[in-house]
A and B are shown apart, each in its own frame.
Chain A
Amino acid sequence: MKNGVLWICLPLLAPAVSADATLNIGSKRFTESYILGEILDQTARSAHETTVDYHQGLGNTGILFAALRSGDIDLYPEYSGTIWFELLKKNTAGDLAALNRELAPLGLTAGLPLGFNNTYALAMLDARAMQLGISSISDLAHEPELKLGLSQEFLNRKDGWPLVKSVYTLAFEPMGIDHGLAYEALAEGKIDVMDIYSTDAKIAKYGLRVLRDDKHAFPAYHALILYRSDVPRRFPETWAALHKLEGRISEKQMARMNAEAELEGRSFAAIAADFLASGTAQKRSASSGRNLLDLTFGSDFWRLTVQHLLLVFVSLGGAIVVGLPLGVCAAYLPAFRQPILSLVGVIQTLPSLALLAFLISMLGTIGVIPALIALFLYALLPIVRNTFAGISDIQPSLKEAAQSLGLPFFARLRLIELPLASRAILGGIKTSAVINVGTATIAAFVGAGGYGERIVQGLALNDAATMLAGAIPAAVLALVLQGGFELLDRWLIPAGLRQGTLD
């Protein structure tokens, strides 16, 4: 599985590989997981026992689980229902003891229930529910005139509407509605009941009443920590600190913290810090909303910049080392020409997320390595193609002049042909670098860091400012690189080849 490119990259990856003495915490890519991850991170650091590395928004459930099993991370916040249904692929859920019997063979443990259950729920406007005297799902049966507007996902999931309908024997004909639009529809009275998550950020904003699941139709999605079973032994003091979080967060508190992030634009770190300082999620103090400048040059700016530059330049370096010889082969070996050019062309057409997914499954790891390989592959085409074109475009008479001097092949390549093709080759490298700056933002989707981390976060929060705080530095970096290469051109392209007006 290790190829030449990996070896080139390995020394640079060293900092990213987890040391045994470091506690690695992960979180998934949605608001609640970001906040819980921050709470775990800050709590673990407060024990001052070990180095803590927090990989925020590392990926989706599958990626986090894979990272946990491979030891890339040691723990992350998860939900009991998700472990039963998605990770263990069971049809029914049991209690925590049963869950841990299933997880034990994997060397994993689920524990420290945080206190809230983030499951599907049905909700109404509080005022309307009060008026009709509805507080539980059973009560809905008495009001057959109510209009239900449910998301397509909820309508179709086995543990969604079909389950509720059969457990409570409801006769409604619900309409499908986009989840984002359902809140407004509810507020305007176009629908009476919608599906939500029980820690939904918009519960308070829209004055929603969450109907009690009195017949326990919905499976429990208790928030807890999924960890490698050796964590309490490896980090006893840190574990003791984390233990204090057990049962500390109620559904209301979680919903409020979600709202602070999604509706008020507070940073995850600040929300977590407030929660830990007071033992409860507080109403935000006087601190103002985040402006773009503060966001852009936030404390993580240099870390993200370094990560982004490493991704771009390590992959670019590999692409030059491999692409230049490939371009030369394509120019001199007609038998290899079409295969080489077609191959790098095909790679370029692969959608980046598909390529990353493919690499992750092939390499069995997430993070920097698959990202570097993907960027390396994308950087190949411009370099190979321009090297090939640059050499092919050299006047035949000059090639013949070099040959007739009696210079051997590699001397001709080094002394004559590569310098003559240098403008085209540098152009290819420049194109690859600029493309890589953009494509590297995708790397955040697999936990490789860089400016993309903010874009991913902004997408999860639906927060344009956070997205821009990632997108703008990436765009500026592309421009800076472009300018840097123009300067490099002057230095690297032989003086005799530059545009001149001397003749």
Chain B
Amino acid sequence: MIALENVSKTYGKQLALARTSLTFATGGITALIGPSGCGKSTLLRLMLGLIQPDEGRVIFNGEHMTASNVESARHAIGYVIQDAGLFPHLTARGNVVLLAIFLKRNASWINERVNNLAELVRLPREALARFPRELSGGQRQRVGLMRALMLDPDVLLLDEPLGALDPVVRSALQAELKSIFSQLGKTVILVTHDINEAAYLASDIVLLREGRVVQRGALGELLRHPAEPYVKQFIQVQRPMVAELR
């Protein structure tokens, strides 16, 4: 379980996140959605301890996240960033096993884990020996997902994981991601700006605007009982048909 308690963050005078409390239950799949600058990436980075909240605290597996335990917390949180964020000087395999080797995990365990993960994300075995620049965009994203899952984390954070891909690859990968999520059964928190993607992958949607949580719930609930007119407006722009029908 990961939770934010009365957390807020400003950059200078710019409000990134107003005081917010959110709890993400174990095994749940949540999408953080909203226009750019709404604070959804700030939320993810707060949960990883990459930035410190001005007030409030982040609770991970029952513990207050501090400078002293943030590194071990990160080992239990898999993070997939847009365009994968693979290290260009390491092969795909080198990227995936980097942390496990640093933590001196057993070599045969590492091999078995890599094989299983490659199967899970459907990455061809020969691609593991390639450098990131030799991989397609979709393959890079699969390797990024393998890297995030390597240590079998409790929580998986994904920041626009499909944002850099073309629409065809994107829709294929959405289906794959959905199946991977269901096989893993992990807590998944996903940032996206696409309401279709959010609704397809997640049962729980958190809509943000200007650093504030506007509404949280399933897509149907957001449509039927919008907390404010903006909710309907945001969904309607991307899903006019659905909005009309409901």
A residues touching B (Cβ–Cβ < 8 Å)? 397-398, 400-408, 411, 415-416, 419-420, 422, 494-497, 500, 502-503
Contacts and interface: CB of A to CB of B under 8 A. Distances in A.
A403 B88 contact: no
Contact of B89 (A403, A419, A500): A419
Contact of A497 (B73, B85, B89, B102): B89
Contacts of A495: 89, 131
B133 A402 contact: no
Contacts of B89: 419-420, 422, 494-497
Q: Which 10 A-B pairs have the closest CB atoms?
A: A406-B74, A494-B89, A401-B85, A496-B131, A404-B79, A406-B75, A496-B89, A406-B71, A419-B89, A502-B134
Contact of B133 (A407, A419, A503): A503
Given A397-B85, A420-B87, A496-B88, A405 B133 contact: no
B134 A503 contact: yes
A494 B88 CA distance: 9
B74 A405 contact: yes
B83 A397 contact: yes
Contact of A404 (B50, B72, B131): B50
B42 interface: no
Given A405-B74, A406-B72, A496-B89, A397 B81 contact: yes
Contacts of B74: 403-406
A437 B51 CA distance: 47
Q: How large is the interface on B (under 10, 10 to 19, 20 to 34, 35 or more residues)?
A: 20 to 34
Nearest to B44: A404
A415 B102 contact: yes
Contacts of B90: 494, 496
B81 A496 contact: no
Nearest to B153: A406
Contacts of A401: 79, 81, 85-87
B81 A400 contact: yes
A407 to B, nearest CB: 6
Contacts of B77: 404
A71 B12 CA distance: 65
Contacts of A496: 87-91, 131-133
B152 to A, nearest CB: 14
A402 B88 CA distance: 12
A411 B88 contact: no
A400 B102 contact: no
Nearest to A499: B133
Interface string B134-155: 1000000000000100000000
30 contacts: A397-B81, A397-B83, A397-B85, A398-B85, A398-B87, A398-B88, A400-B45, A401-B86, A401-B87, A402-B87, A403-B74, A404-B74, A404-B79, A404-B81, A405-B74, A405-B99, A407-B71, A407-B98, A407-B99, A415-B98, A420-B88, A422-B89, A495-B131, A496-B90, A496-B131, A496-B133, A497-B89, A502-B133, A503-B133, A503-B134
Contacts of B71: 406-408
Contacts of B73: 406
Nearest to B151: A406
Given A398-B85, A400-B85, A502-B133, A411 B48 contact: no
A290 B134 CA distance: 60
Contacts of A400: 45, 50, 81, 85
Nearest to B45: A400
Contacts of B72: 406
Contacts of A406: 70-75, 99
Contact of A411 (B70, B82, B83, B102): B102
Contacts of B133: 496, 500, 502-503
Contacts of B147: 405
A19 B12 CA distance: 66
Contacts of A398: 85, 87-88
Contacts of A407: 71, 98-99, 102
Nearest to A495: B131
Contacts of A405: 74, 79, 98-99, 147
Contacts of B88: 398, 420, 496-497
A496 B70 CA distance: 30
A496 B79 CA distance: 23
A490 to B, nearest CB: 14
Contacts of A403: 50, 74
A348 B45 CA distance: 42
A416 B87 contact: yes
Contacts of A497: 88-89
Nearest to B88: A496
A502 B134 CA distance: 6
| Central interface residue in A405, A411, A420, by most chain B CB within 10 Å | A405
A122 B65 CA distance: 92
Contacts of A397: 81-83, 85
A408 B75 CA distance: 11
| Central interface residue in B70, B72, B87, by most chain A CB within 10 Å | B87
A496 B131 CA distance: 6
| Central interface residue in A401, A406, A494, A502, by most chain B CB within 10 Å | A406
A475 B239 CA distance: 70
A15 B48 CA distance: 57
Nearest to B132: A496
Interface string B48-90: 1010000000000000000000111111010101110111111
Contacts of B81: 397, 400-401, 404
A17 to B, nearest CB: 44
Contacts of B91: 496
A194 B87 CA distance: 76
A500 B134 contact: yes
Given A404-B48, A404-B50, 9 more contacts: A400-B50, A404-B74, A405-B79, A405-B99, A406-B71, A406-B99, A411-B102, A495-B89, A500-B131
